[in-house]
A and B are shown apart, each in its own frame.
Chain A
Amino acid sequence: MNIDFSTSIPIYLQIIEEFKRQIATGALKPGDKVPSQRELAAQLKVNANTVQRAYREMEILGLVETLRGQGTFIRQVQEIVEETRSEMLTDLVDDFVRSMQALGLSREKTLELVGVRFQELQSGKEVEEK
């Protein structure tokens, strides 16, 4: 796990977001054991109390569960996976739409371009950059 902590978002929230992202992409699956709080703190070079707060929140959110004497595990909660996926997709599309708007592209032109690129990428064709 690697997180850039230079941003203004509280660090415990960034840790939770990273877990959500890894769950949504399938990098972390239900039943997977996650690092101990101490180990993750050392790995991320983050204050142990911050990691503790992230884990506590994740338990409340139902993302993970801690089994006494065994460790902390990803929970099998399909709706959280779907919710996170849909959040991520919305964010990605929003970023894209804003970028296109900033370049002055219309809705029609944008969709047309998406269609073209979709076709080209699917057929594995390399397209040179302008």
Chain B
Amino acid sequence: MRASEQALVVRDLRKRYPKVEALKGVSIALPKGEIWGLLGPNGSGKSTLLKCVAGLLQPDGGEIEVLGLPPSREAKAEIAFVPEVDTLYRWMTVRQVLDFTAAFYQDWQEETAGELLEFMRLDPEAKVSSLSKGMRARLKLILALARTAPLILLDEPFSGIDPSSRDRIVEGIIRQFKGEEQTMIISTHAVGDTEQLFDAVVFLDEGTINLQGNAEDLRTRWGKSINDLFKEVFA
């Protein structure tokens, strides 16, 4: 048993870039076993928040606790972060990308990776440079889901990809998500056909949270789908 029942606690997080205040005091608490949607238009601070949690950015103020741990090497090992930018080496084959990634992480599950490869309909011999954006997005997802990391952060996994890749990714997440042992944050600026994936959602607007809560409760309270609420808030 772990010390904390919260997978992630963020308190009054602040981050300023030279020209813009990206996070103006953001607080969230994610219980274990849930999938959260971090929703907001481009530039709302979603990536900054995820990068701070992943330990890739140093916040200017506030606190972060991952599974009860303060930011540290130990905390970092508990996190699988998939950035929006494409970090795959284009000269590698799909198989080489998986082997290369496996070498970095002790929690890599070869069998799960094999299952996901098949499910995502990726050819292990295909070169990364020959893959479509949707296929590269599928591959990036495997890199996170083949690990048993308790906290998974996906930054814009659905951005600019075809509907069939989006559906595969949604289903892949649902199939592989390990219930109580895992917690996931998925950021997106287009809610569309992904809202049924989320236990709870956070609306981030110019560095401030303007709505958060359990997705079903929000639908009941406002009589609207999350997608319609999103459109209304960010109209």
Contact = CB atoms under 8 A, between A and B. Distances in A.
Interface string A2-32: 0001111111100000000000000000000
Contacts, number: 53
B195 A45 contact: no
Interface of A: 5-12, 38, 41-42, 44-50, 53
A8 B223 contact: yes
Contacts of B167: 45
B216 A6 contact: no
Using C-beta atoms within 8 Å of the partner chain, give the interface range for chain B: 20 to 34
Interface string B190-232: 0000011111000000000000000110011011110110000
Contacts of A50: 196, 199, 216
Interface in B69-105: none
B57 to A, nearest CB: 29
A58 to B, nearest CB: 15
- Nearest 6 Cβ contacts at the A-B interface: A10-B216, A46-B196, A5-B196, A8-B224, A10-B219, A45-B170
Q: For B171, B196, B198, B223, which residue has the most chain A Cβ atoms within 10 angstroms?
A: B196
A11 B196 contact: yes
10 contacts: A5-B196, A5-B225, A6-B225, A11-B196, A44-B196, A46-B196, A47-B197, A48-B179, A49-B33, A49-B199
Contacts of A11: 196, 215-216, 219
A11 B223 CA distance: 12
A114 B223 CA distance: 34
Contact of B219 (A8, A38, A42): A8
Contacts of A38: 175
B225 A7 contact: yes
B56 interface: no
A5 B195 contact: yes
B196 A12 contact: no
A12 to B, nearest CB: 6
A63 to B, nearest CB: 19
B171 A9 contact: no
A45 B199 contact: no
B227 A45 contact: no
B171 A45 contact: yes
A15 to B, nearest CB: 10
B174 A41 contact: yes
Contacts of A5: 195-196, 225
Contacts of B179: 48
A121 B215 CA distance: 45
Given A5-B196, A8-B228, A11-B196, A47 B174 contact: yes
